[in-house]
Structure 1
Amino acid sequence: PDEAVEVKRLAKPPAPVWAINQLARRRRADVRALVKAAARLREVQGSGRGDFAKAATAERAAVAKLVAAAAGILREGGAAPTDATLGRVATTLHAAATSDESRGELERGRLRAELEPPGFGALLGTVPEPPAEKLADEVAQARERRAARDDLADARSRADAAQEQLEAAEEGVADARDELERAETDAARIRSELDEAQAKVTAAEKRLRKLER
């Protein structure tokens, strides 16, 4: 039993790696976007053509978006998304996306260990890897954008439901107005019939009085 527990412990990847592998399954498009951004960054660095700062910023933004998603995944898995853990997630994402050996494992969700980006500082050249505070800000912004998108979707859903209720109410009002018009028409007809009947009653009473004299 102890040996089985040890094997299981060794087979289970660290929390940051587990979260990244989950990202590959749940946020496949975002992982591909990171790989694409990293490839563009390498291309600009290697060729010397293009906006390097823009490419580096795009790559960092892609990482921040995934780190924000990883925080939720870690919470779901019972792990605390501390700054240190999220920093390890970001570092491994950076490294895997820029590594020919690990890129495929990243996309397939098959990473087995955390990675350190050898030579990544040189790759970034004049745009160094952001400090922890900047990364935290980018992650926070990504979370806020995600929350804003969720709020927008919820608001739109509520607005659609309210619109449907309004249309149903307006149809009910229209039906009620039609019913009221029909009722008023019936009432006018009945009044006319009543007036005619009362006139006949009056005429009949006069005739009867004459006959009784």
Structure 2
Amino acid sequence: MPSRFDEVADELYALPRDEFTAARTERAKAAKARRPDLAKQIGGLRKPTVAAWLVNQVSRRHADDVGQLADLGEQLRSAHQKLAGNDLRTLSRQRNELIRKLSGFASTIAAEAGVAYSDAAERQVEATFEAAVSTPDAAAEVLAGRLSTALTPSSSEDWLAAALAASPRTKTSGPPPKKPAPKKPPEKPAATKPRKDPDAERRRAALDEAREKLASARNDRDEARQAMQELSDRAEKAAAVVTDLRERLDEAVKEERALRKEAFGARKALTAAEKAADEAGRRLEEMESFGRRR
């Protein structure tokens, strides 16, 4: 049974990306009085990057297609263990086709939401779906639809390329075209037991750490780029409003000047009319006075 935190998290990560922060603040504030621990958990939820948000939406809208990634991962690992080269190639092709399909879904969702699906976002989306094939844990995270950052495929997936390269040799029906030997040399499971390198573990750990740092840096960069884009869009809208107001102000100033000019003319006409009325009044009084004297 899902907890209250799970319900709130599902609700938040299903929202449009630009509504996440305000909704998170509101939910945390509502929980603070009765459940301070829940409020702290909610406040700790990170706003998803563009790539993570798109993956979340794809997982929610196309859960069956995303679920196939985990199934393909299991089949690929099984085929590798059996050294089934043809199966590996077929499954790998299916994986690539499915990831392209899911990336297409992400592009559609981005267009509907008015979000730019940049090359960087596309790479991160596809890398996240590749990670879902790489490990069951990553597949579960993707299916949950609550990612805040993109995922990177596990380095353990390197077995796939090695297996695909080695697989043709495991399927030959006869001896290789070499000089006959008196005795068949013992089979060496090179495909399953590569020669151990004493420094391999250290290099792998350093590589994983470098990949994590790169992913984190790219996520931070994408967040900053998205924030800059959002502010630029708002600035352009504000500039458009300012331009409109200036145009309206210019029109109002012109109209004011024209009206003042007309008012000035009307004032002059009024003055002239008043003088004419006064003159006519005086003449009338003179005529009336002259008539009375006679």
TM score, norm. by length of structure 2:
0.38
Give the AA of the match of 2:70. Answer: V
Residues 1:125 and 2:162 aligned together? yes
Give the AA of the match of 1:83. Answer: D
CA offsets per residue over residues 7-50 of structure 1, 9 Å max, x none?
98972111111111111110111111222222211221222125
Aligned counterpart, 1:19 = 54
Residues 1:47 and 2:75 aligned together? no
Give the AA of the match of 1:39. Answer: E
Give the AA of the match of 1:125. Answer: A
Q: Aligned ranges for residues 169-188 of structure 1 at < 5 Å? A: none
Q: 1:52 to 1:97 in 2, by over 3 A?
A: closer
**8 A contact 2:69–2:139 mirrored in 1:** no
CA distance in 1, matches of 2:60, 2:45: 22
Give the one of 67, 72, 78 matched to 2:108: 72
- In structure 1, runs of 5+ residues without a counterpart are 129-213
Q: Aligned ranges for residues 45-194 of structure 1 at < 5 Å? A: 45-49=80-84, 51-119=87-155, 120-125=157-162, 127=164
Report the CA distance between 1:83 and its aligned residue: 2.3
Give the aligned length: 126
Give the one of 55, 59, 67 matched to 1:32: 67
CA distance in 1, matches of 2:45, 2:68: 31
Q: 1:14 to 1:8 in 2, by over 3 A?
A: farther
**8 A contact 2:70–2:136 mirrored in 1:** no
**8 A contact 2:80–2:163 mirrored in 1:** no
Paired-residue identity, %:
28
| Greater RCO structure (CA 8 Å; 6+ sep) | 1
TM score, norm. by length of structure 1:
0.52
**8 A contact 1:92–1:114 mirrored in 2:** yes
Q: 1:40 to 1:74 in 2, by over 3 A?
A: same
Give the AA of the match of 1:37. Answer: L
Give the AA of the match of 2:133. Answer: A
Report the CA distance between 1:99 and its aligned residue: 1.7
